Amino acid sequence: MKNNDDIWELRLYVAGKTPKSVTALKNLRQYCEEHLKDKYVIEVVDLLVHPQLAEGDQILAIPTLVKKVPEPIRKIIGDLSNEEKVLVGLNIRPAKKIE
Amino acid sequence: MSSETQTQKSALPSLPKARTGIVGLDEISEGGLPKGRPTLICGAAGSGKTLFSMEFLVHGALKFNEPGVFMAFEEKAEELTMNVASLGFDLQQLQQDKLIKLDHVHVERSEIEETGEYDLEGLFIRLGYAIDTLGAKRVVLDTIESLFSGLTNMAILRAELRRLFDWLKEKGVTTIITGEKGEGSLTRQGLEEYVSDCVILLDHRVVNKISTRILRIVKYRGSVHGTNEYPFLIDEEGISVLPVTSLTLKHQVSSQLISTGIPSLDSMLDGKGFYRGGSILVSGSAGTGKTSIAGSFAHSTCQNGERCLYLAFEESPGQIIRNMNSIGMDLQTHIDKGLLRFQASRPTLHGLEMHLLSFIKQVDDFKPSVVILDPITNLVTVGSVSEVKNLLIRLIDFLQNSQITVMFTALTLMNSPSEQTDENVSSLVDTWLMVRDIETNGERNRGMYVMKSRGMKHSNQIREFVISEEGLRLVDVFLGPSGVLTGSSREAQQLLERTGEVLWDHALSRKDREIERKKMVLEAKISSLKEEFESMQDELNRAYIEEELRKEVQEKNREEMTRKRDSSK
C-alpha cells in the first residue's frame, strides 16, 4: 500500500520555546529516527515569528504536528508523548505491518 | 436621547458602548453593546445569530470606523460572503479595504489526533495577528462551541476559553460570541459562565403556523436596558428590532384640525374634525358603514391635496373604489394623481411583525399625511389580541412621531353589551367613533356617536347616520314620545311636526286679526272721549271769560260814576 520511497513532510507548529514545544520536538525527532530514518523532513514553524502562517494549516492548538505528505493530511496536537498515537497518526504503524 | 440626560450621564463615568447599528437595538440597549467586552449571543439554530454578528461588524466597519475580525468556526468565508451578499454587504470589498477580515477556523475531528498536553495558543496568535493587522476594534467568534466537537480534552478547552475571553478583554476589543441554545441553559457548553457582561437571547417562535423572531437582553451588567422580549425582523435590509413602545411618550403634538370629510361629523367634533397626528378608531357591527367613513376621510384628505395611504385587509382596491363610487366619491382620480395609495393584502400573508414593517416601509416610501387601516379586526387571525394591541401601539407611536393621522376601523361583535372592541385598542386612540345599528319597527338604521375625542368639545348626541348617493351625512335624531326615532319613524315625526307648524301659523294669524280689531274699537273710544273733554274745557273757559269781562265793565262804570260825581261838585 505505501510506497517506501515516500518522504514524510512534517511540519511542527510551536509558539516560542515552551516546555510543551520542546518536548514535542524531542519526541518527534526520536520517533522519526526510529521509524523513518532518512525518509523525513521536519520543518519547525514558530508562530510568534510568523503569525500569518497559522491560518493556512488551520492551526488552533500548540504544539501541532502536520503531516502533509503522504496523503491524507493529518494533524496531531499535544506534546506527542503517546508514541502509539503518533505513529498511527503518521500512518507509520500500518505501513510497517504490511512490510 | 435628549441632550439633557446625556450631560447628566457624562458627569459620572458610565459604561462605554459600541453601537451596533442594528435598527432599534441601540435604542433598547441604551447605546449598544459594552465596549471592549465580550457579549454572548445565544439562540437556537436559525435564530439569526450569525447575521446579527455580521451586521455588528459591517456597521462597525462602515459607520463607526471600527474594523472587525470575523472568526467563523462553522461556515466557510465564501459561504458567509454569499449569505450576506443578499443584504447588500460586500464582504469581498470590505476585506480588500482592510475593514473586515474573515477567518474560517476549520476543526475536523477525524484529521486530529490528540496526544498529551497542548494549549490553544495557535488560535490566540491567529486572532491576535488578524486584530493587529486591521487595527480591529470588533471581533466575532461564531460559533466557538464548535471547538467542543473537534477537541476532546474538555479541561484544556475550558481553561483556554476562559483565558481567551480574558485576553480579548485585555485587548480592548468588543467581542460577540455566539452560542447554540442548550437544554435548560442558555448555551450547550455553558459559555454564559465565561461571558458575564452582556447576554442577548434570540428566539424564533411559531404560533399558529406563523413565526415571529424575538430578541431579549437577558443580562447587561452595568447598564440600563429594556428587559422585554422585542420582536425583530430579518429582511433584505438586515435585522430590525422593533421596540414594543419607545420608552417615553414624547412626540410632538399638533393643534391643527383636519376635516373628517363629513361636514355634519365635523360639527360634532367641535365643528372642525380630527387633530392632525391623532389616532381615530371607528368601530361598529357589520354593515354599519365603517369602510364608507374611512373612504370619505380618504376622499376629503386627497381633495385637500394631501396623501393618504389606505391599508385594506378585507376588500381589494377595485372593490373599495367601486363601492365608494356608488356613494358619490371618486377615489380613482386621487389614485391617478398619486395622492391615494392602496395596499391590500390578506392578514395571513405574513406575521404581524412583517405587517408592521411593511406598514412602516410603505409610510416611509409614500409619506402620507393620513393612514387608514381597514379593518384591524382581521389582524387577530394572525396573532393574539395582545400582540395586535402591541402592533397597534407601535404603529401609533411611529405615526404620531411623524405627525401622521391614522384611522382604524374595527368590527365589534353583534350587539355585544360592551362597546369594547376586540382588540382593546380603544384606550389608545384619541378619537373613537361608534357606529351602531338601531333596530326598531321592522327596520334597521345606523346611529353614530362620538365615544371620546381627546382635547376637544364634542357632541354627546347620537346622530342618525345616512349613506346616500350624495355621500355620508348625519341627521339629528328625533326624540319622540317613544324615545329616539330614526329612519321612517323619524320622517313620520318630521311630517307630523310640519303639519303642526302650519296649523299653528294659521291659529296665530287669526289671533292677530282679533287683536287688531279690538285695538281699532278702543282707539275709536279714546278719540270720542277726547272730544268730549275738549268741549267741556271750552265751556269752562267761556264762563271764566264772561266773569272777567263783567268785572271789568263794573269797574269802569264805577270809575265813570265817581268822575261824574266829582265834576258836578
Q: In chain A, which residues have their Cβ closer than 8 Å to the Cβ of B119?
A: 20, 61-62
Interface ipTM: 0.87
Q: Among B13-17, B415-419, B453-457, B509-513, whose mean pLDDT is lowest?
A: B415-419
Q: Residue B527: enclosing H or E segment and its boundaries?
A: helix B487-567
**Residue B22 covered by a domain:** yes
**Residue B557 covered by a domain:** no
d(CA B472, CA B536): 78
Same domain for B181 and B271: no
Q: Higher pLDDT residue, B490 or B334?
A: B334
Do β-strands A64-69 and A74-77 pair in parallel, antiparallel, or remain unpaired?
A: antiparallel
Same domain for B121 and B261: no
Best of A14, A52, A60 to disrupt the B interface by mutation (most B CBs within 10 Å)? A60
For residues B449-472, give the mean pLDDT.
82
pLDDT bracket for residue B537 (50, 70, 90) = very high
pLDDT bracket for residue B196 (50, 70, 90) = confident
**Interface contact flag, A85 B111, Cβ < 8 Å:** no
Q: Look up residue B569 and give its three cell numbers.
A: 261838585
- Please say whether the beta carbons of B57 and B50 come within 8 A: no
Q: Look up residue A37 and give its three cell numbers.
A: 530514518
Do β-strands B471-476 and B463-468 pair in parallel, antiparallel, or remain unpaired?
A: antiparallel
Top mean pLDDT of B6-10, B270-274, B442-446, B507-511 is at B507-511
Same domain for B229 and B277: no
Same domain for B287 and B212: no
Residue B529 pLDDT > 90: yes
Residue B2 pLDDT > 50: no
pLDDT bracket for residue B435 (50, 70, 90) = confident
Residue B169 pLDDT > 70: yes
d(CA B319, CA B401): 32
**Residue B72 covered by a domain:** yes
Residue A24 pLDDT > 50: yes
Q: Higher pLDDT residue, B226 or B48?
A: B48
Q: In chain B, which residues have their Cβ closer than 8 Å to the Cβ of A13?
A: 122
Other beta carbons less than 10 A from residue B395's beta carbon = 24
Same domain for B421 and B291: yes
Residue A96 pLDDT > 50: no
pLDDT bracket for residue B173 (50, 70, 90) = very high
Same domain for B218 and B290: no
**Residue B250's pLDDT is what?**
64
Residues whose CB is less than 8 angstroms from the CB of residue B183 and which lie 6 or more positions away in sequence, other chains included: none
**Please, what is the average pLDDT of chain B?**
83
Residue B534 pLDDT > 50: yes
For residues B507-530, give the mean pLDDT.
92
Q: Higher pLDDT residue, B424 or A10?
A: A10
Q: Count H helices and E strands in chain B, helices first.
A: 15, 25
Helix, strand, or coil (residue B374): strand
Looking at residue B369, the DSSP 8-state letter turns out to be S
- Please say whether the beta carbons of B136 and B101 come within 8 A: yes
Other beta carbons less than 10 A from residue A91's beta carbon = 18
Residue B114 pLDDT > 90: no
Which residue, B450, B476, B502, sits at the end of a domain? B476
- Please say whether the beta carbons of B438 and B484 come within 8 A: yes
Q: What is the pLDDT of residues B38-64, one digit of tens each?
A: 999 988 888 888 889 999 999 999 999
Q: Among B324-333, B395-404, B504-513, whose mean pLDDT is lowest?
A: B395-404
Q: What is the pLDDT of residues B313-331, one digit of tens each?
A: 888 889 989 988 888 888 8
Q: Look up residue B397 and give its three cell numbers.
A: 407611536
**Residue B449's pLDDT is what?**
83
Same domain for B235 and B290: no
Compute and round to an integer the Cα radius of gyration of chain A: 13
Same domain for B262 and B235: no
**Interface contact flag, A54 B118, Cβ < 8 Å:** no
- Closest C-alpha to A72, from A94, A51, A50: A94
Same domain for B188 and B119: yes
Name the interface residues of A facing B (CB cutoff 8 Å). Answer: 13, 15, 20, 23-24, 47-48, 51-52, 54-55, 58-64, 72-82, 85-86, 88-89
Residue B237 pLDDT > 70: yes
Q: What is the domain count for chain B? A: 2
Q: Among A61-70, B120-129, B350-359, whose mean pLDDT is lowest?
A: B350-359
For residues B208-224, give the mean pLDDT.
82
Same domain for B261 and B173: no
For residues A41-69, give the mean pLDDT.
87
- Please say whether the beta carbons of B141 and B73 come within 8 A: yes
**Interface contact flag, B113 A86, Cβ < 8 Å:** yes
**Residue B61 covered by a domain:** yes
| Mutual angle of helices B121-134 and B154-171, in 10-degree steps | 20
d(CA B211, CA B195): 29
- Please say whether the beta carbons of B274 and B258 come within 8 A: yes
d(CA A52, CA B307): 59
**Residue A1's pLDDT is what?**
42
Which residue, B458, B476, B494, sits at the end of a domain? B476
**Residue B513 covered by a domain:** no
Mark out the alpha helices in B367-411 (DSSP H runs).
385-401
Q: What is the pLDDT of residues B278-303, one digit of tens each?
A: 888 888 888 788 888 898 899 989 99
Mark out the alpha helices in B17-153 (DSSP H runs).
25-28, 49-63, 77-85, 91-96, 121-134, 146-150
**Residue B424's pLDDT is what?**
66
d(CA B402, CA B114): 62
**Interface contact flag, A54 B111, Cβ < 8 Å:** no
Share of chain B above pLDDT 90, in %: 21
Domain that holds residue B450: 257-476
Same domain for B236 and B360: no
Q: Residue B343: enclosing H or E segment and its boundaries?
A: strand B340-344
Q: Look up residue A21 and give its three cell numbers.
A: 514545544
For residues B79-91, give the mean pLDDT.
87
**A21: nearest CA in chain B?**
B118
Q: What is the pLDDT of residues B3-31, one digit of tens each?
A: 444 444 445 677 888 888 887 888 788 88
**Interface contact flag, B147 A60, Cβ < 8 Å:** yes
Helix, strand, or coil (residue B130): helix
**Residue B251's pLDDT is what?**
66
**Residue B549 covered by a domain:** no
pLDDT bracket for residue B440 (50, 70, 90) = confident
Same domain for B204 and B271: no
d(CA B29, CA B12): 19
Share of chain B above pLDDT 70, in %: 92
Q: Higher pLDDT residue, B365 or B5?
A: B365
Residue B199 pLDDT > 50: yes
Domain CATH code at residue B409: 3.40.50.300
pLDDT bracket for residue A98 (50, 70, 90) = very low
d(CA B50, CA B43): 10
Top mean pLDDT of B69-83, B350-364, B405-419 is at B69-83
Which residue, B442, B457, B476, sits at the end of a domain? B476
Of A15, A62, A79, the CB nearest to B116: A79
Residue A95 pLDDT > 50: no
Sign of the alpha-carbon dihedral angle for B245, B246, B249, B252: negative
**Residue B372's pLDDT is what?**
92
DSSP B61-84: HHHS---EEEEESSS-HHHHHHHH
**Residue B250 covered by a domain:** no
Residue B254 pLDDT > 90: no
**Residue B7's pLDDT is what?**
42
Q: Higher pLDDT residue, B250 or B450?
A: B450
Other beta carbons less than 10 A from residue B387's beta carbon = 18
Q: In chain B, which residues have their Cβ closer than 8 Å to the Cβ of A72?
A: 111
**Residue B414's pLDDT is what?**
55
**Interface contact flag, A60 B116, Cβ < 8 Å:** no
Structural domains in chain A, sorted by start: 8-98 (3.40.30.10)
**Residue B519 covered by a domain:** no
**Residue B308's pLDDT is what?**
92
